[in-house]
Homo-oligomer: A and B are copies of this chain.
Amino acid sequence: MNSGYHALAGVQAILRERQLDALIVSQPENRRYLSGYTAPDHGIQESSGFLLIPQDGEPWLLTDSRFTLQAEAEAIGYHLHVYRRGLLEALEHLLPQLDVQSIGFEADYFLFSTHARLLGLAEKLGFRLEAISNLVEDLRVVKTTDELELIRQSTQLNERVFTHVYSQISLGQTERELARLIENTMLDFGADRPSFDTIAAFGENAAKPHAVPSERRLKAGETVLVDMGLVLNGYCSDMSRTFVLGEPDAIFLERLRLVRAAQQAAISTIRAGVTGAAVDQVARDVLREGGYGEAFGHGLGHGVGLAVHEAPRLSPHAHTPLAAGMVVTVEPGLYLADWGGIRLENMVIVTEEGSELLNQDTTFLDL
């Protein structure tokens, strides 16, 4: 199941509009989105392949012999070109057949050195190069019905993993042990892989929004902050939970209630037509009025799809209106250096009238 067929037509329409004869797609999620070919890159210097999308006619997938079988099985409707020495060799072979005068490349996922070599080929074969930004990314922002279903399944599996792990958290466990338990459970339950490095932070460590799990052991009454996501059939999930094993103290409960109130106020604001900045402001206002305006330093949320961080953003700088079919996280938090932190993160689908909550609506506490 992939969304590539109508998306390919969308790309070709934009190429016609911009008078470009072809587009080279190098960004791994864009490549998968358009072709269904699932191989990831191991870093930009170890590409698993490129798409060459002509304005008219059938598209090409260019890759090396390690991926031939996978490419044939997955990239339905694509011609396959197997190269030995990489993109430049493949283009030198293919472009003369395709009568291409102008070609776009993805400037935000294209190495300077690759471009320099491509420029040499452009001079030799007589075509024009154009740097392109966010062409495919913009198409990915609004999800299809099929994609929404895959994101629902990814989120539900992520919840199942958390529920399973929650019953196994115990005093004395280290942050690293908890993070590994979560990631192993994801794989046991059938996830492709974690969608990012799992965060498990105890006590004061939860004050760092991007805490790296350490050898710190869990003590009674301490905050446990978990931020976890998985990939299932290519689609990502992302959620954060903050809780206490045993009896939470009054200050924790007060702060958790505040973050929860900020999250609920923000979610109730979401609908098609509202900007990400407006949604962010609602959560920020609740936290400021509660006395924690300075303690919330990051943006409220981000889009989720084939990438775990993608457009749109919910942040003070996000002035484009949301649209139905977008998927975003809503993750207010507060972080206090000597105390710790709280973050609650759920995912929602933006709809015309409001939003659809993808996560279970619980904090595991009687608030």
Q: Is residue A133 within 8 Å, beta carbon to beta carbon, of the partner chain?
A: yes
**In the complex, A210 Cα to B209 Cα: how many Å?**
37
- Scoring A110, A113, A210 by chain B CB atoms within 10 A of each residue's CB, the highest score goes to A113
How far, in Å, is A110 (CB) from chain B's closest CB?
5
Interface centre among A112, A115, A184 (most CB of B within 10 A): A112
Q: How many identical subunits does the complex contain?
A: 2
Chain B residue nearest in CB terms to A193: B197
Name the B residues within 8 Å of A189 (CB-CB): none
Interface contact B108-A111, CB-CB below 8 Å: yes
Q: B105–A42 contact, CB under 8 A?
A: no
The answer on a CB contact under 8 Å between A111 and B116 is no
User: How big is the A interface, by class?
Assistant: 20 to 34
Q: Which residues of chain A (181-221) have a CB below 8 Å from chain B? A: 184, 187, 196-197, 208-210
A97 within 8 A of B: no
Among B105, B109, B187, B196, the residue within 8 A (CB) of A45 is: B109
* Per-position binary interface string of chain A over residues 243-279, scored 1 when its CB falls under 8 Å from any chain B CB and 0 otherwise: 0000000000000000000000000000000000000
Closest Cβ of chain B to A111, distance in Å, is 6
Interface check A135, CB cutoff 8 A? no
Q: What is the bound-complex CA distance between A26 and B183, given in angstroms?
A: 29
Looking at the assembled complex, report how far the CB atom of A28 sits from the nearest CB atom of chain B, in whole angstroms: 9
Q: Is the CB of A187 within 8 A of B180?
A: yes
Question: How far in angstroms is the closest Cβ of chain B from A108?
Answer: 5
Q: Residues of B contacting A208 with CB < 8 Å?
A: 66
Out of B43, B112, B180, B196, name the residue touching A111 (CB < 8 Å): B112
Say which residue of B42, B45, B109, B112 sits within 8 Å of A115 (CB atoms): B112
Residues from 24 to 50 in A contacting B, C-beta threshold 8 Å: 42-45
Is A107 an interface residue when CB atoms closer than 8 A count as contact?
yes
A131 at the A/B interface (Cβ < 8 Å)?
yes
Measured CB to CB, the closest approach of chain B to A128, in angstroms, equals: 15
CA distance A108 to B45 in the complex (A): 8
CA distance A209 to B69 in the complex (A): 13
A44/B42 in contact, CB under 8 A:
no
A184 to B208, CA, bound (A): 27
Chain B residues whose C-beta falls within 8 Å of the C-beta of A66 in the assembled complex: 208-210
Closest chain-B Cβ to A183's Cβ sits at a distance in Å of 10
Known: A45-B108, A107-B112, A107-B116. 5 other contacts (CB 8 A): A43-B44, A107-B113, A108-B112, A109-B111, A110-B112
The 10 closest A-B pairs by CB, nearest first: A107-B113, A66-B210, A110-B112, A44-B44, A107-B112, A112-B115, A108-B113, A112-B112, A108-B111, A112-B131
Q: Identify 27 residue pairs between A and B in the complex whose beta-carbon atoms are under 8 Å apart, listed by A's number.
A: A42-B197, A43-B44, A44-B44, A44-B109, A45-B108, A66-B209, A66-B210, A105-B112, A107-B111, A107-B112, A107-B116, A108-B111, A108-B112, A108-B113, A109-B111, A110-B111, A110-B112, A110-B113, A111-B111, A111-B112, A112-B112, A112-B115, A112-B131, A113-B131, A180-B184, A180-B187, A184-B184
